[in-house]
Amino acid sequence: MDTISTIVFATLFLPPLVAVAVVQMLRQRPRQTGHVKTPPEPTAIPVVGHLHILLKKPLHRTLADIAARHGDVFCLRFGASRALVVSSAAAAKLCLGELDTAFADRPRLPSGKILSYDWSTMGHANYGPFWRQVRRTTTTEILSAERLHYFADVHVQQARAMARRLCCVAALRSGGRALVDIKARVSEMLFNVLLDMICTRSSRGDEQDETGEVSEEARNFMAMAEETIELTLTAWDFLPAQVRWLDVDGVGRRLQRLQANRTRFLQRMVEEHRETVNKGAQVARNTMVRALLELQKEDPKACTDKLIHSMCISALEAGTLGTEYTIEWAMTLLLNCPRVMKKARDEIDECDGTPKRLLEAADVPRLPYLRCIILETLRLYPVVPLLVPRESSADCTVCGFHIPKGTMLLVNTFVVHRDPRAWDDPETFLPERFEDGRNNQAGKMTMSFGMGRRRCPAENLGMQLASLALGTMIQCFDWERVGTELVDMSEGSGLTMSKKVPLKAICQPRASMVDLLSVL
C-alpha cells in the first residue's frame, strides 16, 4: 500500500475489524466453571495474541525456544484460536496415544479448505466414516504390503534411471565428475515413481536422459507442492473473515491460483487414464486411478472426481516431498561424515555380491545399517517437525492442564527427538544408536510418522523409496562436498523440514558401476 491508502485503511477499516476480532475472541473463549488449571503461555499482544510467532522462522525452533522458558506444555493464542504445543515424549504420547480419539480431528483452517477440496483429503478430513473410507481405499490401492511388492520393480527402475541420468551428466564433464543438484534429481525420481503407481505414466522427460535435464513437468509439480507447504498454516488462516476478504497480502489469491493449477494437473492426469481405458487399450498396471475409476463406475456418488483428485494429490505431494527431504538430509549428513558413507557402501557391496549387480528391492531388508542411517536422519530432521496439526473434539486434560474443545495441537517432534533426557549425545549424527534394534524398540522413532489413528500409512513405502534411492546413489557414485567446508545444515522456513540451501555435491561414477549403468 502507498501512504494515503494505508491512512485510509487505518482510519476506515481497522477500528471495526479490531472490534470484530474482539467479539469473535470473546465468543470462542471457553466457558469455565470453578477453578481449572490452564497451560502457561508467553506474553500475548492484545487481540492478535501470539499471531506474530507464526512469522518467526523456522517455527519449530521458535517454539523450542518458548518451551525452554515455559515448559514442555504451553498454550498459544492465534487471534481467536487456541493452540496447545507439547515438546516432550511423555506429553506427545499422551496426546497421540491415550487421548488419540480426543485429538483425532483436524483444524478447519481456510487454507486447508481450499487446498484439500473442502477437507476431502485423507490428511485434512476429520476423524469419522468419510476419513475411514478414504484411508482404507488409499491403504488398499497404493500402500498395502501387496502393493508395495507389486510396484517394487517400478521403484527399482526409477532409482536406476536417476543413476543413469547422473552417469550421463558426469560423462559430459571433463574428468567424468559433475556438480549435481541432489534435490532436483531425487524429486524427479520420486515424482516418476508416484506417477507410475497412480496412473502408469512417468514424467515426460525421458527424451532428455542424454543431457541429464530434469523434466519440466517434474519441476512444475514440485514448485506447486512447495508452494502448498508455504501457504499452509500462516497468519492469514487466523484472521477474521472480514480481514481475510481484503486479502491485503494476496495470500487468498495465491491459494486460489495454486489450487486451480493443481486441479488442471490432476484433471489432465485422470482424463488421460480414463481415455486410455475407454478406447479399450490394455493398461499394464492396476494403478490407483484405475481402481478408483472402477469404484466410480460402481457408485458414482461415493467416488466422485473430487475424491479422486484429493486422493491423488495427497499421494503425490506427501510421497514426493516427505521422502525427498529425508534423502537430501541423509546425503548432507553423509557428506559431512565420510566414515558413515564408507560403512554404508561396504554393507551394500557385501550384500550378495552387489558390486557385480545393481541394488534390488529385495536387498533392502538385508541392509540394516542403511536403515539406521535413515532412522537417524529422521530423528535429527523429521519431515514434519510439528507433525500435521490436530484439533481436540472434546474437553480433555493434558499433564494436569485443562484443554477445551476446539484447541489445535502442535507436537514439536524436533524437540522430542533432541531431548537429552531421552537420547545420549542427541545433537550428533550417530546411526549406530539404532543398530540391533536399539532405541527403535522403545518406540522413540514413532514420532517421525506420527502416532495413533492418524499415523502416516505411507511409512513402509517411504522407507523403501528412501532406501533404494539413497542406496543406489551410494553404490554407484563417489561423492564429494563442494569445497573443503562442511555442508551447510541450515533449515528452511516452512512447516516441513527442508534445507535452507538445496544440496549440491560432486559425483563421479564408480568404475565398477559404469558398465552396469550403461546397459539400463
List the one residue out of 502, 165, 172, 73 whose CA is nearest residue 325.
502
- Closest to 337 (Cα-Cα) out of 383, 393, 290, 376: 376
By CB atoms closer than 10 A (0-12, 13-18, 19+), residue 13 is middle
| Short-list 54, 99, 57, CA closest to 490 | 57
Q: Tell me the β-bridge partners of 477.
A: 509
Q: Residue 396: beta bridge partners? A: 403
Assigned C-alpha cell, 232? 499452509
Question: Three-state DSSP class for 76?
Answer: strand
Cβ-contact 402, 438 below 8 angstroms: no
CA distances from 322 to 139, 261, 270, 401 (A): 17, 21, 23, 33
State whether residue 260 is helix, strand or coil.
helix
Exposed / middle / buried, residue 313 (Cβ in 10 Å: 0-12, 13-18, 19+): buried
* DSSP for residue 501: S
d(Cα 87, Cα 413) in Å, to the nearest integer?
Answer: 7
Q: Which three cell numbers stand for residue 446?
A: 514413532
Strands (E), 49-129: 73-78, 81-86
Look at strands 408-411 and 81-86 and give their pairing. parallel
456 labelled ligand-binding: yes
Are 502 and 328 in contact by the 8 Å Cβ rule? The answer is yes
Residue environment code for 354-375, b if the CB has 16+ CB neighbours within 10 A, otherwise e: beeebbbbebbeebebbbbbbb
Q: Which residue's C-alpha cell is 527431504?
A: 325
CA distance 271 to 335: 43
Scan for cell 564433464, then name that residue: 173
Specify which residues 180 forms β-bridges with. 505
- Residue 316's identity, in one-letter code, is L
CA R_g for the chain: 24
Measured distance CA(248)–CA(451) in Å, rounded: 38
Tell me if 78 sits within 8 A of 238, measured CB to CB.
yes
**Binding-site positions:** 456
**Binding-site positions for heme:** 456
